[in-house]
Amino acid sequence: MWATATLGERVNYGAGSITANYDGVNKHQTVIEHDVHIGSNCVLIAPVTIGAGGTVGGRAPPSPRTRPPAC
């Protein structure tokens, strides 16, 4: 079985970030749930699950109430 990274909807995955799923012997699962923001140059070492709405590295995105209105 090949372990993979499973991504939810609306995931913002920063440049240079990787999922390290292989430990030299076994492959492990990475799960990134919906609405997660991952900053640039992050290494996610499996097994790991990032819960919905989570943020890894970098700064959190602005809340919907502080975003400017769409044009």
pLDDT value, residue 30: 92
All residue ranges of the chain with pLDDT < 50 are: none
Residue 53: the pLDDT is 87
At residue 23, the pLDDT reads 85
pLDDT of the residue at 55:
87
Residue 34: its pLDDT value, please? 94
pLDDT at site 57 = 83
User: In angstroms, how far is CA 51 from the centroid of its own chain?
Assistant: 9
